[in-house]
Amino acid sequence: MWSFDSISFFLVFLGLPLALFLTLVIWPFLQAAFYSFTNWGGFSQEFDIVGFDNYVRLVQDGTFLTALVNNVKLAIVIPLVTLVIALIFATLVTVGGRGIGQTVGVKNSGFYRVVSFFPYVIPAVVTAVIFMKVFDPSDGLLNRLLPAAFEQNWLGSVSTAMPASMVVIVWAGVGFYMLLFIAAIKSIPAEVYEAARLDGAGRLRTLWSVTLPSIRETVQTAWIYIGIAALDAFVFMHILNNSGGPDNSTLVMPQYLFRLAFSQNQFGYASAVGVAMAVVTLVFAALVFTINRLSGGSTRSS
For residues 101 and 194, what is the distance between their CA atoms, to the nearest angstrom?
Answer: 8
Residue 256 resides in a domain: yes
Query: CA neighbours within 13 Å on the CB side: how many for 167?
Result: 14
Q: How many CB atoms lie within 10 A of CB 78?
A: 21
How confident is the model over 18-29, as pLDDT tens digits? Answer: 999 999 989 999
Residue 302 resides in a domain: no
For residues 272 and 40, what is the distance between their CA atoms, to the nearest angstrom?
Answer: 11
Contact 278, 33 (CB under 8 A): no
What does the DSSP assignment read for 160-183? HHHHHHHHHHHHHHHHHHHHHHHH
Q: What is the DSSP letter of 92?
A: H
Residue 16 resides in a domain: yes
Query: CA neighbours within 13 Å on the CB side: how many for 281?
Result: 16
Q: At what angle do helices 109-121 and 158-186 cross, to 10 degrees?
A: 130
Q: Both 135 and 87 in a single domain?
A: yes
Give the torsion through C-alpha atoms of 31, 33, 37, 40, to 10 deg.
40
Q: Both 11 and 132 in a single domain?
A: no
Q: Both 152 and 260 in a single domain?
A: yes
Q: Both 5 and 149 in a single domain?
A: no
For residues 165 and 241, what is the distance between their CA atoms, to the nearest angstrom?
Answer: 9
According to the model, what pLDDT value does residue 9 have?
79
According to the model, what pLDDT value does residue 68 have?
95
Helical H segments across the chain, by residue range: 4-10, 16-21, 27-35, 53-59, 62-95, 109-121, 124-134, 141-145, 158-186, 190-198, 203-206, 212-214, 216-232, 234-240, 253-258, 267-294
Q: Both 248 and 168 in a single domain?
A: yes
Q: Which domain holds residue 12?
A: 1-27
Residue 152 resides in a domain: yes
Q: Both 68 and 205 in a single domain?
A: yes
Q: Both 72 and 8 in a single domain?
A: no
Q: Both 19 and 147 in a single domain?
A: no
pTM value is 0.86
Q: Both 20 and 47 in a single domain?
A: no
Contact 177, 220 (CB under 8 A): no
According to the model, what pLDDT value does residue 99 have?
60
Structural domain count of the chain? 2
**φ and ψ of 38, to 5 deg:** -125, 175
For residues 213 and 109, what is the distance between their CA atoms, to the nearest angstrom?
Answer: 23
According to the model, what pLDDT value does residue 302 have?
38
How confident is the model over 192-226, as pLDDT tens digits? Answer: 888 888 888 778 888 888 889 899 999 999 999 99
Q: With a cut of 70, which residues of the chain have pLDDT below it? A: 1, 97-104, 296-302
Q: Identity (one letter) of the amino acid at 273?
A: V
